[in-house]
Structure 1
Amino acid sequence: MKAALRKALAGSAVGLALLAMPMAAAAENLGQALADAYRNSGLLEQNRAVLKAADEDSAQALASLRPVLSWSAGASHSFGRAYSDAGTSAATESNGASAGLTMSLLLFDFGASRIALDIAKESVLLTRQQLVLIEQQVLLRAVTAYMEVRRATETLALRQANVRLLTQELRAARDRFDVGEVTRTDVSQAEAALAASRSGLTSAQGVLIQAQLEYEAAVGHRPGTLAAPSQLGSVPASVNEAIAVALQNHPSMNVARRQVTIAELQVAVTDASLKPSLNLSGSYGLESDLDSDAHSRSGSVSLGVSGPIYSGGALASKQRQAMLNKEQTLANLHVVTINIRQAVGNAFSGVQIARAASSAGTEQVRAAKVAFDGVREEATLGSRTTLDVLTQEQDLLDARTTYLSAQVDEVLARYSLLSSMGLLTAQNLKLNVDIYDPAAYYNMVKSAPAGVSKQGRQLDSVLRRIGKQ
């Protein structure tokens, strides 16, 4: 499996390396388009922020294991009137102030808080895999947009050439009609074919506009001249090799595995919630009478144990729910495995089909071109009708269009296979970009630094820079 992985990566890397070679002035190659899509994707930026938020969940889970220190302060003014048994009264008034510190620390809870920290860490790893999944979607969309612009551009060129050719055929038919070699029917057939060709040209122009808009959305800028891929890279020798790589590397598989792990930890958390917890707390305070010099200081330290006795059945329900969630994630892992196998199998067969169609298209175009040249020559000798020429011209156009689509489909099929194997990432494709490090922010917050610390101030600076981008 590792050999298959290295082979697939090497093939894709060679392909993109060749794509990055200079071809023509101002021509953009596929490697550059993928790099731009990676840099400009708002979807990737959005999900990187989601990952950073998950990193903070881990920091908060760690903070729950540390002492919590808080302060309080207050001032009071009280007034009233006191009445005696003799019927006299006197006004009363007093002013006071107080300040205090309190501290609490969880000493032991049968591992519930530690398990919560493990869940947070697993959630970070899960979110990283979801980010990889988004990255694959972004890059596959860019590949598709690139090749669809190529398809639309070359189809438009074929349509334009067809209009020019049919215009010549119509002119020739009219000249032959003028000298009595053909009938009015032949001229009408040429006119109808030209009108249909112009309609096809207009449709091709509209398809190109749509493809260009999709390219701009996927890559981040309008397409210029797009170079043809000169190397498509290699694919695994067998579908079983491709499936083995996918089951090991595809982010959807890794997400499903992490979900199972988290569900198992959730079961452990619900079990621990039925057990008591041991807490340490302390307080220290100062009270002062502002109307006199009287003041007092006091403090306390306490050790407490608490635990549930009866919760109306809620805790038992949570236990059952956690077990059912675990079963759900195990079933989901099975479903994802089947889906990955099917997706890889479909993608692998798609490559084989596209490759065969591309090979057949070469021969089809060659034969159609020979047939068209022969029919047109025979028409000049009077042995073929104008309709024969127009029919063969349409056959040649269809052959060229089919061959063009087969070439585009082969490229898309190969990159779809890479995506189904979990290898369509900027790092695996060796794109010329700064690869995003998903662990960088986590390493900054994993120790849960306080906002007043040096590291906390550095984090604030990082977030301010992000907010200005």
Structure 2
Amino acid sequence: MRTIRRTLAALFAGACLAAPAGATTLADTLVSAYENSGLLEQNRALLRAADEDVAIATAALAPILTWSAGATISDPRPPDQSNPRQTDLIVTNLQLSAELLIYDFGATDLAIEAQKETVLSTRQELLSIEQDVLLRAVEAHLAIRRAFAFIQLRENNVRLITQELRAAQDRFEVGEVTRTDVSLAEARLASARSALASAQGDLAQAVEEYRAAVGMAPGNLVEVAPAPLDLGVEAAKDFAVRNHPSVIAARHNVTAAELGIRRAEAALKPTVNLSGRVAFDDDFESSQSVTLGISGPISQGGRLAATIRRAMAQRDAARAGLHITGLQIEQQVGNAYALLAVARASLDASEREVRAASVAFDGVREEARLGARTTLEVLDAEQDLLDARANRISSQIDEALASYRVLASMGLLTVGSLNLGVQVYDPAAYYTLVEDAPLGLSDRGRALDRVLRAIGD
């Protein structure tokens, strides 16, 4: 697999160096899609939210500080114990409290570990989204190439049929052919113009898809070579089920679900808490108390047992999801290789077809000049050549597209694997800032606020 990655990196680097000035290579298309994708931005935000879940779980181990204040109005007024004649209509109080979890048999630690597994799963899901974004960009790039090539083909066809029509009209004027031959040429010319208009419409739609997928208008798009592949189907399947982001994400989901069972079981055990309180009265006289307490459940109507069973069911579902995901990835790899084989066979056949159709068209046209062929036969031969060329263009595009679908099915269609030379989003950077739940007023907390405001702007 290192060979594939090195070859891909060299391929994109070489394409950028060999591209003419002002041309847009596939690497340029992929970089733009990566930098402008709203879908990636959305899922990066979801990853940051998952990072914060780790911070929220971690905060349960920190001291919890609270304050409260109150004012009580009494009528009749309660007597002042130090001065029975003096009574207060309004009695105020202020209280500061602190609480710290001492021990809970690992329930909080398990919650933190489960959230960390969720973060790792979300990172892999982000990679899967990245693959979808880049594959859509590849498809958009190739769709433009296909549509533009078809327009050139149709324009050339219109020119050739126009020439055939003029020749038929000249031969009709001298009595070599009938009006029927001229009408046949006119009908074929009208059909060719209709096909040209359809191809132009396809290009307009491809341009809109390119804008949506890549985030910019297409320029002079460079031809795309098939991606290098040095693995067979079975080896590619084995690699994919071990390394595809979707499979890795499913594995982390299984681990998180298993931790969820242990966390639910820990809820049956007692917890030890340390709490303290400082209260102030109207005269700002204080009273203090410190409590070390232990508590645990006796009965909650079967809720805790149901929570454990639910966690077990979620674990079983996650395991089944991992199995299903592995099968789906294997199927995707097999399908991608099958499409690649079909495209290559079709390309080989279309190359032969073009060569044969070219010879046949030249021969029929020359024989028509000698009067041995009719205008209809010339037009049929020319249509066969056009179809052959169209098949060759489609097969070339299909081969390139199928090769990149193989990469995506293996989990290799990522910015990191392709070495596109763009600044790659670091999924661990934000996590590092929040994993230990910094306070909002701390230096790191204020730095996080600035980061989020910059992202929001």
Q: Using structure 2 for the length normalisation, give the TM-score.
A: 0.96
Picking from 276, 288, 293, the partner of 2:282 is 288
Three-state SS of the structure 2 residue aligned to 1:275 is coil
Deviations 1:67-94, CA, capped at 9 Å, x for gaps: 10112233444443799xxxxxx99643
2:146 maps to 1:157: no
Three-state SS of the structure 2 residue aligned to 1:288 is coil
Shift of 1:168: 0.9
Which residue matches 1:70? 66
Which residue matches 2:433? 444
Deviations 1:159-199, CA, capped at 9 Å, x for gaps: 11101111111111111111110111111111111111111
Picking from 90, 98, 108, the partner of 2:93 is 98
Three-state SS of the structure 2 residue aligned to 1:69 is strand
Distance across 2 between alignment mates of 1:128 and 1:225: 35
Picking from 353, 368, 376, the partner of 1:364 is 353
Q: Residue 55 of structure 1 contacts residue 124 of structure 1 at CA under 8 Å; is this kept in 2?
A: yes
Q: Residue 27 of structure 2 contacts residue 420 of structure 2 at CA under 8 Å; is this kept in 1?
A: yes
Question: What runs of 5+ residues in structure 1 fail to find an aligned partner?
Answer: 84-89, 290-294
Deviations 1:178-225, CA, capped at 9 Å, x for gaps: 111011111111111111111111110110000000000011111111
Distance across 1 between alignment mates of 2:131 and 2:209: 17
Which residue matches 1:186? 181
Which residue matches 1:80? 76
2:265 maps to 1:271: yes
Picking from 378, 385, 402, the partner of 1:396 is 385
Q: Residue 80 of structure 1 contacts residue 91 of structure 1 at CA under 8 Å; is this kept in 2?
A: no
Question: What runs of 5+ residues in structure 2 fail to find an aligned partner?
Answer: 80-84
Picking from 44, 48, 70, the partner of 2:44 is 48
Q: Please give the residue correspondences for 1:24-63 in structure 2 after superposition, counting only pairs within 5 Å.
A: 24-63=20-59
Picking from 94, 97, 106, the partner of 1:111 is 106
Distance across 2 between alignment mates of 1:97 and 1:215: 68
Q: Residue 12 of structure 1 contacts residue 232 of structure 1 at CA under 8 Å; is this kept in 2?
A: no
Deviations 1:109-163, CA, capped at 9 Å, x for gaps: 1111110000111111011001000000000000000000000000011011101
Picking from 244, 249, 265, the partner of 1:250 is 244
Which residue matches 1:13? 9
4+ residue runs over 6 A deviation:
none
Deviations 1:392-423, CA, capped at 9 Å, x for gaps: 11101100000000000111001000000000
Distance across 2 between alignment mates of 1:82 and 1:455: 50
CA RMSD in angstroms, aligned pairs only: 1.7
Which residue matches 1:385? 374
Deviations 1:10-35, CA, capped at 9 Å, x for gaps: 23222212221243231111010100
Q: Using structure 1 for the length normalisation, give the TM-score.
A: 0.93
Q: Counterpart of 1:255 in structure 2: which amino acid? A: A
Three-state SS of the structure 2 residue aligned to 1:232 is coil
Q: Please give the residue correspondences for 1:263-342 in structure 2 after superposition, counting only pairs within 5 Å.
A: 263-289=257-283, 296-342=285-331
Q: Residue 98 of structure 1 contacts residue 285 of structure 1 at CA under 8 Å; is this kept in 2?
A: yes
Change (3 A) 1:145 1:82: closer
Change (3 A) 1:82 1:8: closer
Deviations 1:336-359, CA, capped at 9 Å, x for gaps: 111111111111222222122222
Which residue matches 2:82? none
* Percent identity of equivalent pairs: 53
Distance across 1 between alignment mates of 2:296 and 2:277: 23
Change (3 A) 1:178 1:122: same
Q: Counterpart of 1:201 in structure 2: which amino acid? A: L
